[in-house]
Structure 1
């Protein structure tokens, strides 16, 4: 079995900043309409980390886990509305749907998620593009209880090993940020990096991914890649 872990934002889809708008809405409800929103470098970070740092930088006191998780759940309740508002500015990246459809038909490939979103947040975003049906959510990696991407990746591969055991031949992580490359290496995966998000190709190259592309290759090329 070959496991392909997909990142979501910047790798498969661009939501037109729906997530950013949804988080900022919640921040202003908590801190007041006039509160300055701290700048957080969000690309590749988990939702928990982003919400934690927004509260920390605004208050000067590190929030509790309960405060962070409450913030994230409120953000998710707000997300569906913003996905609809920004749909004219959103899109699926080149060759994504084609690859998902192609590998869905391969019995020796499992398509999973490795994302900084929670399970609910990931499902909402993918459903907005009709992509949620391609993934095994039960054995994917989500950030409900994790702040650092490396930790959710370790948890995900533990679950995969418990399920597939000796059937796993190769593990691949597809992402658009240095954090995707890093967490892939942490679990011994072959990292496929695409410069479709906020990071330039040169910045991704510095992290030495296994393979680096401007955009996701077409399905036949991807198939040859994972079977090389």
Structure 2
């Protein structure tokens, strides 16, 4: 049976250990001319939403042009600091062997549904050797939509895959809600700020503590 696996990135596959926020602040200052005093909530949000709310916290007005310039700057700082990201960040336990195991199965395609802009997503995955397993051409990114459900729909459309043949893996209630709203089965991973109970309460089909047990997670993904 064909299977499309939709991966979230941050706190599901990788942990930037603070580098991501530093790069975000650098791009924010480059585009606005202001030092970032505080950042809006990022868990489960897209870059457009995070920027809009962060601008509001600084008394600044949003515009589509500003977001486009910010997205370009954010991509550029990720490229410039890719080595630092690789040195300080990490792939979460089990991520690489699980992606490799799925890549070796006939009929399985893997991509991402992420609030990151595409360049940032590419850099984060490549920093830890995960990009080799992911088909980014059918993914959905922070430039594509503001809300998770629309990102999921975008990925399904690009992959030409019905919702019943897809499974989404993420660490926040927003990931879960986005998948469920599109009829996609969802596996919650308790490696972010939301614990297992919170992910179950959000409606996750299954929940795992992390991705370290490759065989267990494979069975859940492919059942």
Q: Which residue of 2 aligns with 1:45?
A: 45
Query: Once the 2 structures are TM-superposed, how far is the Cα of residue 79 of structure 1 from its aligned partner?
Result: 1.5
Deviations 1:171-224 (A, max 9, x none): 100011111101111221111011111222332222020011111253322332
Q: Which residue of 2 aligns with 1:55?
A: 55
- Distance in 2, Cα, partners of 1:110 & 1:86: 26
Give the gaps of 5 or more residues in structure 1. Answer: none
- TM-score normalized by the length of structure 1: 0.89
Q: Is 2:198 the partner of 1:203?
A: yes
SS in 1 for 2:58: helix
Q: Which residue of 1 aligns with 2:213?
A: 218
Q: Larger deviation: 111-120 or 81-90?
A: 81-90
Instruction: Please show how residues 1-228 of structure 1 align to structure 2 within 5 Å.
Output: 1-32=2-33, 35=35, 37-61=37-61, 63-161=62-160, 164=161, 170-216=165-211, 218-228=213-223
Deviations 1:17-48 (A, max 9, x none): 22210111122334446x45233110111112
- TM-score normalized by the length of structure 2: 0.90
- Distance in 1, Cα, partners of 2:49 & 2:68: 10
- Distance in 2, Cα, partners of 1:10 & 1:156: 20
- When the two chains are superposed, the root-mean-square deviation of aligned CA atoms in Å is 2.0
Query: Once the 2 structures are TM-superposed, how far is the Cα of residue 69 of structure 1 from its aligned partner?
Result: 1.7
Q: Larger deviation: 130-139 or 78-87?
A: 78-87
Query: Once the 2 structures are TM-superposed, how far is the Cα of residue 102 of structure 1 from its aligned partner?
Result: 0.6
Q: Larger deviation: 105-114 or 217-226?
A: 217-226
- Distance in 2, Cα, partners of 1:84 & 1:137: 21
Q: Using a 3 Å threshold, how does the CA distance of structure 1 residues 217 and 137 change in structure 2: closer, same or farther? A: same
- Distance in 2, Cα, partners of 1:27 & 1:227: 41
Query: Once the 2 structures are TM-superposed, how far is the Cα of residue 110 of structure 1 from its aligned partner?
Result: 0.8
Contact 1:27 1:37 in 2 (8 A): no
Give the gaps of 5 or more residues in structure 2. Answer: none
Contact 1:2 1:108 in 2 (8 A): yes
Query: Once the 2 structures are TM-superposed, how far is the Cα of residue 8 of structure 1 from its aligned partner?
Result: 0.6
